[in-house]
Amino acid sequence: MMRLTPDQSSHVRRTPLVDFTFDGTGVSGHDGESLAVALMRAGHLHLRDAPEDGGARGLFCCMGLCQECVVRIDGMVVESCRSTVAQGLAVTSLRRQS
Ligand code: FES
């Protein structure tokens, strides 16, 4: 397949990989990148349960408006789309049975 635009992927500079946990499972992400993106890339799409019916919730607006992506870090509930990855971060979901 022919690309219509030049492939610039080799020019993208990434920060070093760091390790953190999500519900006790090891995850890697690039230092300073969006926590939501690192979790999504690792296959963690179900971040919390809806309080009304327990339905799966996850990344939606990607800009801090909907609160669908909230997780817990150090006891605080934060939007994963507005949080950044750092070495040793311990992230937990807001799932009823996690
Ligand atoms: S995805 Fe909407 S607040 Fe994070």
What are the residue boundaries of the structural domains of the chain, listed by start?
A: 14-73+81-90
Tokens 């150090």 -> residue: 74
pLDDT in tens, 63-76: 999 999 999 999 99
Across the range 46-72, mean pLDDT stands at 96
Name which residue leads in pLDDT, 5 or 80: 80
Q: What spacing in Å lies between the alpha carbon of 4 and ligand 1's midpoint?
A: 32
Is the C-alpha dihedral spanning 9, 80, 76, 71 positive or negative? negative
* pTM of the complete model: 0.86
CATH 3.10.20.440 holds for 14-73+81-90: yes
d(CA 18, CA 90): 12
Tokens 């919730």 -> residue: 57
pLDDT band at 12 (very low <50, low <70, confident <90, very high): confident
Atom of ligand 1 nearest to the CA of 82: 4
Residue 98 pLDDT greater than 60, yes or no: no
**Pocket of ligand 1, beta carbon within 6 A:** 59-62, 64-69, 79, 81
What's CA 29's distance to the chain center, in Å?
9
Q: What spacing in Å lies between the alpha carbon of 59 and ligand 1's midpoint?
A: 6
DSSP 23-42: TTEEEEEETTSBHHHHHHHT
